[in-house]
Amino acid sequence: MRRLLLLLLALTFLSCSRQSDQEKLEKSLHSWQQSLEFAHTAWNQKQVPDHYMREVAEAAAKELETNLAGDDIPPSLAARCRKTIDQAKQLAAAASRKPK
């Protein structure tokens, strides 16, 4: 049983490490889009403070910008990343301006 568990963990690790930069960026983009949508909804409903919305948005923009610097990223994926980065920056700016 223990050997089977170790084998499964090893296979999982290998499959994750074999992902291309494009696949990693796709997953990161999807994750950040979902996180931004969730945070934005909660922020609009005043369920989270302004600084939370700003920090989530800034983290999304920073990570996506870093990941976008990779090689061989298809133009369509790069465009989707840039759009999400712009949205994140707009949300961060809005959260910074919102009166207390």
The answer to whether the CB of 85 falls within 8 A of the CB of 61 is yes
Among candidate residues 45, 38, 76, 44, the one with its CA nearest the CA of residue 60: 38
Residue-wise pLDDT tens digits, 67-87: 888 778 899 999 999 999 999
| Rounded Cα distance, 92 and 90, in Å | 5
The pLDDT profile of the chain, 100 residues, written as one tens digit per residue, is 555 555 555 655 555 556 778 888 999 999 999 999 999 999 999 999 999 999 999 999 999 999 888 778 899 999 999 999 999 999 999 999 866 5
> pLDDT value at position 54?
96
Look at the chain and count its residues: 100
d(CA 100, CA 79): 34
